[in-house]
């Protein structure tokens, strides 16, 4: 594998152009803010891509040279082309890591990889969020401590329509009394997936140092360690086989 960890940060980049409040928090886009705190790490090579670029900025060459893809989307999930989603899925199954942020719980790529509704409860009312670190030995929580707080965030509440997480990392509590599985991992094929809840666009969440640390740790955890293309070969036997009288007939039919 490439010695540097190649990260692509993908952002929808629509709210920032329409909502002055979002633009004030993220003048060059949320994806660029995320890229900015990752770039100082010498083991990372970071680039960005967004929805309104050709192929959403995710050409075959970009995907082939991405070890970890970070995804933020919200209002335009349906604008993401299905063929691009299919290519991302293929790359995850090959080994690419995927970090899914906040409202991307409803992104096509997350829903197709998890296979469930991914629905949840929500409320935009400036709750305080307290994220409990319930997996302190996990690489994603290193340096985080027992919990951390985000002073103002959108609430997401259970039930969250996800498959049982393979590793549960964080549980959030909100001022309104709800709880939520706000950090969870799964493996699909050879790729690692991390969902991380915080990041509503009207709050400065991606400037929060501990949110930045979680995402940075998650990039290292999710990095691709292999790239194994999918194939389904007709395999010759490794040892001599007894005579098979039906083999000739079967070879004329082809693969069964
Ligand atoms: Zn939101």
Is 162:196 a contact under the CB 8 Å cutoff? no
The correct answer on CATH 3.20.20.140 for the domain covering 5-118+182-230 is no
- pLDDT, position 246: 80
pLDDT of residue 247: 72
Residue 253 is predicted with a pLDDT of 61
Q: How far is the CA of 123 from the centre of ligand 1 (A)?
A: 9
Give residues whose Cβ lies within 5 Å of ion ligand 1: 103, 154, 200
- The per-residue pLDDT of the chain, averaged, comes to 96
From the list 162, 185, 165, the residue with the least C-alpha distance to 114 is: 162
pLDDT number for residue 20: 97
Tens digits of residue pLDDT in 39-89: 999 999 999 999 999 999 999 999 999 999 999 999 999 999 999 999 999
The predicted structure's pLDDT at residue 226 = 94
In this structure, what are the phi and psi dihedrals at residue 244, rounded to the nearest 5 degrees? Answer: -120, 105
Domain ranges of the chain: 5-118+182-230
Provide the H-helix boundaries in 9-140: 15-18, 20-25, 30-38, 60-64, 82-94, 108-114
Low-confidence ranges of the chain (pLDDT < 70): 1-2, 248, 250-256
> Ligand 1 centroid vs 103 CA: distance in angstroms?
5
Instruction: Give residue 144 CA to ligand 1 midpoint distance, Å.
Output: 23
């Amino acid at each position: 594998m490439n010695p540097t960890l190649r990260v692509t940060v993908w952002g929808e980049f629509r709210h920032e152009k329409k909502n002055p409040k979002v633009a004030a928090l993220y003048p060059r886009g949320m994806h660029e803010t995320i890229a900015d705190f990752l770039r100082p790490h010498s083991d990372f090579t970071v680039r960005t891509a967004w929805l309104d670029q050709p192929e959403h900025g995710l050409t075959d060459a970009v995907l082939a040279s991405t070890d970890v893809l970070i995804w933020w989307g919200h209002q335009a999930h349906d604008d993401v082309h299905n063929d691009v989603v299919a290519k991302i899925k293929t790359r995850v199954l090959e080994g690419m890591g995927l970090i899914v942020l906040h409202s991307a719980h409803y992104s096509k790529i997350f829903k197709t990889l998890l296979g469930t509704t991914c629905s949840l409860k929500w409320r935009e009312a400036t709750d305080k969020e307290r994220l409990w670190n319930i997996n302190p030995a996990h690489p994603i929580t290193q340096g985080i401590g027992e919990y951390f707080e985000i002073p103002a965030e959108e609430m997401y509440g259970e039930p969250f329509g996800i498959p049982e997480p393979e590793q549960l990392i964080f549980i959030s509590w909100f001022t309104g009394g709800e709880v939520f599985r706000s950090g969870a991992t799964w493996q699909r094929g050879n790729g690692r997936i991390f969902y991380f809840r915080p990041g509503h666009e009207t709050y400065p969440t991606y400037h929060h140092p501990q949110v930045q640390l979680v995402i940075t740790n998650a990039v290292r955890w999710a990095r691709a360690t292999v790239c194994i293309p999918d194939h389904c070969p007709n395999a010759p036997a490794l040892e001599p086989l007894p005579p098979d009288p039906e083999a000739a007939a079967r070879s004329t039919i082809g693969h069964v």
